[in-house]
A and B are shown apart, each in its own frame.
Chain A
Amino acid sequence: MPTKVENWKDEVYGAEIREHLMEFAAEGWDAIPEDEHDAWFERFKWWGLYHQRKGQESYFMMRIGTPNGVLEPGQLQVVAEIADEYARGPVDNPEFGGAYCDWTTRQSIQLHWIKIEDIPEIFEKLEANGLGTQQACGDSWRNIVGCPVAGKDKHEHIDAWPVAEELHETFKGNDDYANLPRKWKVAVTGCDQGCGQGDINDLAYEPAEKEVDGETKLGFNIRVGGGLSRKEPRFSRSIDVWVPPERAADIGHGMSALFREYGDRDDRFNARIKFLVDEWGTEKMRDVLQEEFVDFELQTAGENMRDQYTYNAGGQEHGDHVGVHEQPDGNYYVGLDVLVGRMGVDDVSELAELADEYGSGEVRLTQRQNIIVTDVDSDRLDEFLDEPLLETYSPDPHPFMRGSIACTGTEFCSLSIVETKNRQVRYARWLKDNVELPEGVTDFHIHLSGCTASCAQPQIADISLRGMKTRKDGDPVEALDIGLGGGLGENPNFADWVEMRVPADEVPGYIRNLLATFEAEREPGQTFREFIAERDEETLQDLAEAEETDYEDPYMHNTKMTWYPYADEDDMGDSPAPTDGDGESIAPADD
């Protein structure tokens, strides 16, 4: 039997939601019938709006989908202006101020504290500048991800950007695929480094060579069924299919139609295609695709390039896109480290100006929550690198700063168990000041996810942190499970969960002790991932002890019980929400 969400989707879903959204916006928050809140909030996701958590009613997170993370010249300034004007909440964040932008692990943008009354103006401004929120959330084709420097990368075999752009154009607003059983995440990789992260997507296009009519051609191998959520992580699996770039959209049609018809609409916990791949196996997946969903003969997989993948592969070759890199055209792209992916709006605005002044004005978002300024003129590179803003968003950051990723956490998210972004900022700063990295370690990834949804992609980090609770001196405190040794590359590996329920204030001490053990016991030249991989579970558990240090954690209490963790008066009852279009509290109806 279809779920309630499916019933709501049957009534109204896809593009038609917009008309209702605009009517509610015109009339104000109160116009949304109280007994239809859940249905409408579920539908609004399709237009990139996610109702914030309990205590923050009437406020929305808004996600802007930027395919492949590409922001064309001028678009970053638009995003900064929108954030500045519309994304201000009742209370400032102590680390990031009153308005800020989040760069996500899927190369999208998230703004918070958005009020429904402002949606028409925001949409108008976004769309007038070639941006949009359509299908940024909800059960459909999500933002297409890929190598963030596609088209500007010396390691590239196929320029994946036109392919990602074609998929974006084809499947955004396409009624045939507007209502899928669950989210549909797609990655396109064109380089030989593997930085599209296809292994953790529902549908992955990976570069591969194929002999066609006696000629070697470049195209994509197809993998299906990757994903990290719900303690059921899966790497995508090859279905033994190769397509030339001009067939990429056809495979997109076929695979997402297959998912639409055969995905589980009775159980949202079982709906992602990774579970269908589990059930069918890859051979049946290929057969059904061939027989029912494409009208051309599928070719078998070509020769992939996975043995060359260096992105997040555990070595030191290519952990991210931070740094200064020459483009094939002689210009440079400069990857800047954005700690936990969040930038205050004044900084965003200043960066937009710098990108315009020194480069083409284009910037790109990475799957490591960083930002890249592209097309920097070689003659002005040094001048750009001397800009004061790059002291904060450095192209040469400390490994603990560049390796940090964090999800949204209890600040805004209903799912999260613990506070994340501000905590990870404090972790990174403390580790930088207090822990020596072992010799030769220049990349070290620490990902903090507030829950098992795994938005910070914890399972593919050197150190994986996942929200938990424990008791300390009898009182409940925020805690983290700790996993070790995850990553991508030719042989991707999910982290092994080693230490469970470590009080959050003892995690930095654990990491310090762990790295000391690594340095003392490693073989010469051995990477951290290799060091973890060769040890059994029992040994891993004995590697280090968690302990308190002089690190102080202001978020040990149950931040989910607050209406906003950083408010001076943070009790749920102190929340001003819901508010009207002016941000004024709306009195309860029975007053």
Chain B
Amino acid sequence: MTTDVHQLDDGAWISVNDERRINVSDLWLLARHDVCDCHMADFLVEGFAEVGVDHPDIQARVAGRCITCGTEGVTGWVTVGRVIDPESGEFSAVDTTSIHVPDRRRRLARPE
């Protein structure tokens, strides 16, 4: 089945197959990022600016702020979870307490 992914409510959460899976308000550790000069950004997730798919990964560009240095910004594409079973659409979110590495996006969630 098709996996349906979008952000809603002013980017407050990411929906995967009509279920709220990833929320704002957590602190994410970002490595190899370009949000600020901190080696490891301690990044408060304030909103999801965009969502996309790099099969089988679900990715997002995340708006927020590094709470170490105070810099605000939007990350590059960060993997927020993976569709484990394309047949059922079963989704597994990443452990948000792990270290995230923003990457380039490869494919849009919806056609251009």
Contacts and interface: CB of A to CB of B under 8 A. Distances in A.
Interface of A: 1, 4-5, 34-38, 42, 53-54, 229-231, 268-269, 410, 414-418, 451-453, 467-471, 476, 479, 500-501, 558, 560-561
Contacts of A42: 8
B49 interface: yes
Contacts of B24: 414-415, 417, 451, 560
B38 to A, nearest CB: 13
Interface stretch (B15-23, B52-60, B76-84, B98-106): B15-23
B33 interface: no
Contacts of A231: 72
Contacts of A230: 10
* Chain B interface category by residue count: 20 to 34
B18 A1 contact: no
B100 to A, nearest CB: 15
A1 B9 contact: no
A38 B8 contact: yes
A110 to B, nearest CB: 16
Contacts of A417: 24-25, 44, 46
B95 interface: no
A269 B18 contact: no
Interface in B38-81: 42, 44, 46-47, 49, 65, 67, 70, 72
B9 A414 contact: yes
A414 B12 contact: yes
A453 B63 CA distance: 14
Contact of B23 (A36, A54, A269, A467): A54
A36 B9 CA distance: 16
B20 A54 contact: yes
A471 B9 contact: no
A333 B47 CA distance: 43
A415 B10 contact: yes
Contacts of A470: 67
B105 to A, nearest CB: 16
Contact of A35 (B18, B47, B112): B18
Contact of A34 (B18, B49, B72): B18
B13 A4 contact: no
Contacts of B19: 34, 37
B26 interface: yes
B27 interface: yes
Contact of B44 (A35, A229, A468): A468
B25 A410 contact: yes
A37 B9 CA distance: 13
Contacts of B4: 35
Interface of B: 4, 6, 8-13, 15, 17-20, 23-27, 42, 44, 46-47, 49, 65, 67, 70, 72, 110, 112
Nearest to A410: B25
12 contacts: A1-B110, A34-B18, A35-B4, A36-B18, A37-B18, A53-B20, A417-B44, A418-B25, A468-B65, A469-B44, A501-B70, A560-B25
A178 to B, nearest CB: 20
Contacts of B44: 417, 468-469
Interface SS of A by simple majority: mixed
Contacts of A5: 8
Given A37-B18, A414-B13, A471 B42 contact: yes
Contacts of B42: 471
A35 B6 CA distance: 13
A450 to B, nearest CB: 9
B110 A4 contact: yes
Nearest to B89: A35
Given A35-B18, A38-B8, A269-B11, 4 more contacts: A54-B20, A414-B24, A469-B67, A560-B23
A467 B12 CA distance: 14
Contacts of B20: 53-54, 414
A415 B63 CA distance: 13
A410 B12 CA distance: 12
B18 A471 contact: no
A329 B98 CA distance: 66
Nearest to B43: A469
Contacts of B23: 53-54, 414, 560
B25 A469 contact: yes
Chain A CB within 10 Å — which of B13, B15, B18, B42 has the most?
Answer: B18
Contacts of B70: 500-501
A453 B67 contact: no
A471 B67 contact: yes
Given A42-B8, A54-B20, A501-B67, A558 B26 contact: yes
List the 10 shortest-distance A-B pairs measured between CB atoms, nearest first.
A37-B18, A560-B25, A414-B12, A415-B12, A417-B25, A469-B44, A54-B20, A38-B18, A476-B27, A414-B9
Contacts of A501: 67, 70
A500 B42 CA distance: 15
Nearest to A231: B72
Nearest to B15: A38
Contacts of A416: 25
Chain A CB within 10 Å — which of B8, B13, B110 has the most?
Answer: B8
Nearest to B4: A35
Contacts of A558: 25-26
A4 B6 contact: yes
A38 B67 CA distance: 32
B108 to A, nearest CB: 10
A415 B11 CA distance: 8
Contact of A415 (B9, B18, B49): B9
A451 B24 CA distance: 10
A231 B67 CA distance: 17
A476 B18 CA distance: 29
Given A35-B4, A54-B20, A468-B44, A1 B112 contact: yes
Chain A CB within 10 Å — which of B15, B20, B27 has the most?
Answer: B20
Contacts of A415: 9-10, 12, 24
